[in-house]
Structure 1
Amino acid sequence: MKQSSTKTSLALILPLLAAIIAVSPLAIDMYLPGMPEITEYFSTKMPLVQNSLSIYLLGYAVGLLVFGPMADKYSRRRLVMIGLLGFIMTTLALTIAQNIEQFIALRFLQAFISSAATVVVPGIIRQLYGKDTAKGLSYVSMIMMLAPMIAPSIGSILLLDSWQMIFYVLAGYAGIVLVCSYCYLPDVKTVKSSASYSVIKRYKIVFSNRAARFDLLSIMLISLAFFSYITAIPFVYLTVFEVSEFEFSWLFGLNVFGLMVAHFINTRLVGRMGSRRMLRCGVVLSVLAGTSLLLANIFSLSLIFYVLAILPLMGSLSMISVNADALILQEFAEHAGTATAVNGTLRFGIGALAGPILAVFYDGSALPFALLMVVPVYLVLICQLLQSKQHKVAA
């Protein structure tokens, strides 16, 4: 595809890339309201059905490790087709599962194959946007944020028919994305290299890059804070502050909207300020907002103070994440898929620790949640100070 044609198609390509990435958030969130019905259907226990979510995340992480290096060697467009087609087939298979064991196994396969489609997206954006990668990532993330905002509501409506209808609709959505990708997604070529790298060599190159080390650590820590929010916020709002389910939905949606606003601001400013400065702005804001959240807990302040602290904190986390992603991708022109795989695996790996950590320190209050949001933010500040010092020494 010619460069001029690519530029004129960005308005179409970016929503399409967002739609591809949204497949996983929809697969995670749409079936959550149907868990009790799935439990009854398979005559099993709720923890087993809940484990299907953890298995999905595991399958997705394993898939990233497998397909990431392939995205640096083979056609990215072809991987999107394989990933979406495999996702459709496994999603339809879920509707005819005979027992919970089959259901869980299919969820693993569903996540594993879908990662083939999503792992290539950051690399495509990097090649389309170049030095403005953070701007492209912010646009895609801003559009994609609609998925987790509306997915539980869609799932609740579809449950009026059956839990299987959730997966029929999910397969239909993936089918539409597949057709659109076949018609409109350009075959953005991987960066050619004179050297031939094995999978092990590609991972070694990524992990041994000192320039990206502190940004990778920052992303891990931000992911821990983000998954802590996802894990604990229902307890904090519904149990600690005893808000209604309607109020919880409104407050949760407000924070998702805050994430979208942060991405929009990033698209407006990153071209002038650069990803590194925007990341540092996000770190400063996160430290201020995180400290405010901690103080709200220490002094047992009312709900409004929590809301006013969490809203900018979530926005700052997204600003740190998207700019760190862009800086990492810029370091690995020939290994964008591998870098994305490492990035995603570290995110999910550290994020999986949020639940166990919160369980260990559970005391019936919101303090463990606040600490697990704030401590990673302070550690990110240290990482970025060390990164700045390393850069000065290298210069």
Structure 2
Amino acid sequence: MRAQSSASTSREVTAGRTKFLLILGGLSAFGPLSIDMYLPALPTIAGDYGTGAAQVQLTLTAFVIGLAFGQLVAGPLSDAYGRRRPLLIGLVAYALASVLCAFAPSVYVLTGLRLVQGFSAAAGIVIARAVVSDLFRGVAAAKFFSMLMLVSGLAPILAPVLGGQLLALTSWRGVFAVLTVFGVLLLGASVFGLPETLPADRRRHGGFGDTVRTFGSLLANRVFLGYALAGGLGFAAMFAYISGSSFVLQSVYGLSPQGFSAVFAVNAVGIVIAGQINGRLVGRVSTRKLLAIGLAMIGVGGVVLLLAAAEGLGLVGILPPLFVLVAAIGLVMPNSTALALNEQPGAAGTASALLGTLQLAIGGVTAPLVGLGGSGSAVPMAIVMAALGVLAMLAYVTLARGGRELTEEPELAQSAEATPELTH
């Protein structure tokens, strides 16, 4: 009877796989959409409010801070109250904050609203990872995280283009109107298409003290910390690329804005392609080995990039290692995430929160270092990226040694509350 039920679940689940993937991919894309779509509007916002660039850039900083700390709140709450309730509250808050941003009367009000917007957007990002961990184990989790790269990886490619086109049709306030619509659509999709995946008997009810103890145990878990730091440092290398590449490629190497956009898009497509290759290889090749390959690509790509920049080899010298380094994120992120969450299946929301916060914290701290070495060379950016790549490799080798390999047989985490539409 149990075998028949499992087979029936598997068949029904497969039919809803695309819908599930699109919903979780959309939730994972909150960050890049809310940041990248908004970047082309910064000068216009400064002009409308009659303020300087620094004040307007604080609205971006506020969003990132909200995104980081929001994950620390939403993740543990989802472990205690289930995934749906915190997610739906976060989506409602995101939509309300977005529409209020469109009518903000001053840059200071806009900054506060962006903080709220980032804080609420964090619920979608952190809970999407936790939902995958609820439903999948081992190889299946790594494969699904790889598929998410196909959806969420398109966001940084399309968001700047969409933002630029929107500014040709409407004001910057229209960008926030579109983000409001995006939030409302995801709210509706989550209400009707995403069931509860954490049953009541698996929830944590220890309150604030239990949350603090869980964070402490995660930080004390050497293997979890190794995977988290490896992924976070690798992500920070891409963060350094995002923060420095516009200046380096346009001001140092003379690319036009259109040329820079083309390079940015090609590198982003590399992430998507690497993620899909990873999804096909997981189960045939050790997940830890795939992670090590991705980290090696970042480390070696960073070192080659540094050598090419130092030797003055021009675009021909820096673009290939830059592509390799950025594309490697498609191997590093799904595997480091799946391996880290595999270490803590009983606290997926809290573990997901710590993973996301570490990524943003390390990226936020290291990104400004790109500009410290002056404005006449690509070497400072290359130094930061190479150092982060090497540190990511060291974190994996020294801390994650002895970690468990993901099981070859995927395990679907069934619950009485989870509908059979969620895939295997």
Q: TM-score range by the shorter chain?
A: over 0.9
Contact preservation (8 Å) 1:142, 1:260:
yes
Provide runs of 4+ in structure 1 moved above 6 Å.
Answer: none
Give runs of aligned pairs for residues 12-23 of structure 1, distance below 5 A. 12-23=19-30
Secondary structure of the residue aligned to 2:377 is coil
121, 134, 137: which one aligns with 1:127: 134
Distance 1:193 1:77, change over 3 A: closer
Contact preservation (8 Å) 2:298, 2:328:
yes
Q: Distance in 2 between matches of 1:49 and 1:3?
A: 50
Q: Distance in 2 between matches of 1:383 and 1:117?
A: 28
Q: Distance in 2 between matches of 1:116 and 1:284?
A: 32
Q: Distance in 1 between matches of 2:364 and 2:374?
A: 16
Give runs of aligned pairs for residues 182-221 of structure 1, distance below 5 A. 182-189=191-198, 192-193=201-202, 196-197=205-206, 198-221=210-233
Deviations 1:266-291 (A, max 9, x none): 11001221321110111232233222
Matching residue's letter, 1:166: V
Contact preservation (8 Å) 1:56, 1:110:
yes
180, 184, 192: which one aligns with 1:175: 184
Partner of 2:407 in structure 1? none
54, 64, 68: which one aligns with 1:61: 68
Moved more, 228-237 or 376-385: 376-385
Give runs of aligned pairs for residues 60-99 of structure 1, distance below 5 A. 60-99=67-106
Deviations 1:203-232 (A, max 9, x none): 122112122121122123112211110110
Q: Distance in 1 between matches of 2:75 and 2:199?
A: 12
Once the two structures are TM-superposed, the CA of residue 191 in structure 1 deviates from its matched residue by 8.0
Contact preservation (8 Å) 1:192, 1:334:
no
Moved more, 203-212 or 48-57: 203-212
Matching residue's letter, 1:269: L
Q: Distance in 2 between matches of 1:3 and 1:61?
A: 36
Distance 1:256 1:190, change over 3 A: farther
Give runs of aligned pairs for residues 275-294 of structure 1, distance below 5 A. 275-294=287-306
Partner of 1:351 in structure 2? 363
Secondary structure of the residue aligned to 2:325 is helix
Moved more, 232-241 or 181-190: 181-190
Q: TM-score, with normalisation over the residues of structure 2? A: 0.88
**Tell me, which stretches of 5 or more residues in structure 1 are unaligned?**
none
Partner of 1:151 in structure 2? 159
Distance 1:377 1:191, change over 3 A: farther
305, 309, 319: which one aligns with 1:297: 309
Instruction: Say whether residues 1:138 and 2:142 are aligned partners.
Output: no
Q: Distance in 1 between matches of 2:179 and 2:255?
A: 31
Partner of 2:58 in structure 1? 51
Moved more, 306-315 or 187-196: 187-196
Give runs of aligned pairs for residues 214-229 of structure 1, distance below 5 A. 214-229=226-241
Q: Distance in 1 between matches of 2:194 and 2:110?
A: 32
Instruction: Say whether residues 1:24 and 2:36 are aligned partners.
Output: no
Deviations 1:242-288 (A, max 9, x none): 11111111011000001111101111001221321110111232233
Matching residue's letter, 1:265: I
Distance 1:135 1:391, change over 3 A: closer
Moved more, 185-194 or 128-137: 185-194
Once the two structures are TM-superposed, the CA of residue 166 in structure 1 deviates from its matched residue by 0.8
**Tell me, which stretches of 5 or more residues in structure 2 are unaligned?**
405-424
Once the two structures are TM-superposed, the CA of residue 363 in structure 1 deviates from its matched residue by 5.0
Instruction: Say whether residues 1:324 and 2:336 are aligned partners.
Output: yes
Paired-residue identity, %: 31
Q: Distance in 1 between matches of 2:165 and 2:350?
A: 39
Q: Distance in 1 between matches of 2:280 and 2:203?
A: 37
Once the two structures are TM-superposed, the CA of residue 391 in structure 1 deviates from its matched residue by 5.4
Deviations 1:83-121 (A, max 9, x none): 111111010011111111100000000111121222111
Q: Distance in 2 between matches of 1:327 and 1:293?
A: 29
Secondary structure of the residue aligned to 1:66 is helix
Matching residue's letter, 1:299: E
Moved more, 369-378 or 190-199: 190-199
Once the two structures are TM-superposed, the CA of residue 194 in structure 1 deviates from its matched residue by 8.9
Once the two structures are TM-superposed, the CA of residue 174 in structure 1 deviates from its matched residue by 1.5
Moved more, 59-68 or 280-289: 280-289
Matching residue's letter, 1:82: I
Q: How many pairs are equivalent? A: 392
Matching residue's letter, 1:138: S
Secondary structure of the residue aligned to 1:120 is helix
Q: Distance in 1 between matches of 2:303 and 2:51?
A: 43
233, 236, 247: which one aligns with 2:248: 236
Once the two structures are TM-superposed, the CA of residue 195 in structure 1 deviates from its matched residue by 7.1
Matching residue's letter, 1:351: G
Once the two structures are TM-superposed, the CA of residue 11 in structure 1 deviates from its matched residue by 2.1
Once the two structures are TM-superposed, the CA of residue 46 in structure 1 deviates from its matched residue by 1.4
Once the two structures are TM-superposed, the CA of residue 388 in structure 1 deviates from its matched residue by 5.9
Moved more, 312-321 or 186-195: 186-195
- The CA RMSD measured in Å over matched residues stands at 2.0
Contact preservation (8 Å) 1:190, 1:334:
no
Matching residue's letter, 1:139: M
Contact preservation (8 Å) 1:80, 1:118:
no
